C-alpha cells in the first residue's frame, strides 16, 4: 500500500469518525455502522476484484465464501459488543438515525450508500489501470482477510472485557480507531 492510499484510508476510516464523534455527536454504533457499510461494499465487490487475481475458480469461490463468513462474523460480534456496552439500544432506531441523519439538509443514507459502493468500484478500476493484478491482488486479499481476523479478535477481546465491566464508549471508539490505524501500517 502506497503512501497516498494509507493517507486516504486514515482520513476515511479514522479522521472522519473522530470528527463525527467530537463535532457531530456520533456514537459508537453510528461509527461502526459507517465502518460496516464500507466493509459490506468490499464484500459485495469481491467477485469483481477476484477477476484481477490469478486464482482458480474454486480458490476464488473459497475466498468469497471466507470473506463473506468473516464479514458476517464481524457484524454479529460488533452487534454483540454494542449490546453488552448498551443493553437498552434499539438497533432499528439507531440504524434509522444513521440512514436518515441529515447533514447540509440531505439525509445521508441516500447519498452515502451509493457513494461508498461507487468508491469501491472506483478503487477496483484504479487498481486495474495501475496494473495491480495477479500476485499483487492476491496480497491485497490476504491482507484484507488478516485485517478482518485482527478486528474480530479486537471485538472478541472487547466483548470479554465488557462481560466483566462496563467500558466508556469513548474508550471503545478510540481503541477501535487505534486498531484500524495500526492495520494500515502493519504489513
Give the tens place of pLDDT for each residue, 108-128. 888 889 999 999 999 898 888
* Other beta carbons less than 10 A from residue 180's beta carbon: 19
Rounded to 10°, the helix 169-185/3-10 angle is 170
Query: What's the CA gap between 157 and 154, in Å, rounded?
Result: 5
- Considering the entire predicted model, what is its pTM? 0.92
Q: What pLDDT shows up at residue 12? A: 87
- Cell readout for 58 is 474454486
* Residue 175: Cβ within 10 Å count: 15
**pLDDT at residue 103 greater than cutoff 80:** no
**pLDDT at site 126:** 87
* Cβ neighbours of residue 73 closer than 8 Å, sequence gap 6 or more: 152
Domain boundaries in the chain? 3-185
What does the pLDDT read at residue 152? 98
Report CA 70 to chain centroid distance, whole Å: 12
Average pLDDT, the chain: 92
Amino acid at each position: 500500500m502506497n503512501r497516498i492510499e494509507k493517507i486516504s484510508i486514515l482520513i476515511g476510516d479514522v479522521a472522519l469518525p473522530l470528527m463525527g464523534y467530537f463535532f457531530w455527536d456520533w456514537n459508537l454504533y453510528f461509527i461502526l455502522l459507517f465502518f460496516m457499510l464500507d466493509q459490506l461494499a468490499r464484500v459485495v465487490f469481491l467477485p469483481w476484484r477476484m477477476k484481477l487475481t490469478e486464482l482458480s475458480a474454486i480458490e476464488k469461490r473459497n475466498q468469497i465464501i471466507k470473506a463473506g463468513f468473516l464479514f458476517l462474523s464481524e457484524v454479529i460480534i460488533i452487534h454483540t459488543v454494542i449490546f453488552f456496552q448498551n443493553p437498552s439500544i434499539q438497533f432499528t432506531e439507531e440504524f434509522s438515525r444513521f440512514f436518515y441523519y441529515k447533514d447540509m439538509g440531505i439525509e445521508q443514507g441516500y447519498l452515502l450508500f451509493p457513494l461508498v459502493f461507487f468508491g469501491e468500484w472506483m478503487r477496483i478500476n484504479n487498481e486495474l489501470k495501475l496494473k495491480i493484478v495477479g500476485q499483487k491482488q492476491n496480497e491485497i486479499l490476504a491482507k484484507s482477510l488478516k485485517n478482518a481476523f485482527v478486528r474480530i479478535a479486537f471485538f472478541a477481546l472487547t466483548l470479554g472485557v465488557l462481560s466483566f465491566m462496563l467500558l466508556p464508549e469513548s474508550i471503545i471508539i478510540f481503541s477501535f480507531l487505534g486498531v484500524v490505524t495500526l492495520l494500515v501500517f502493519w504489513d
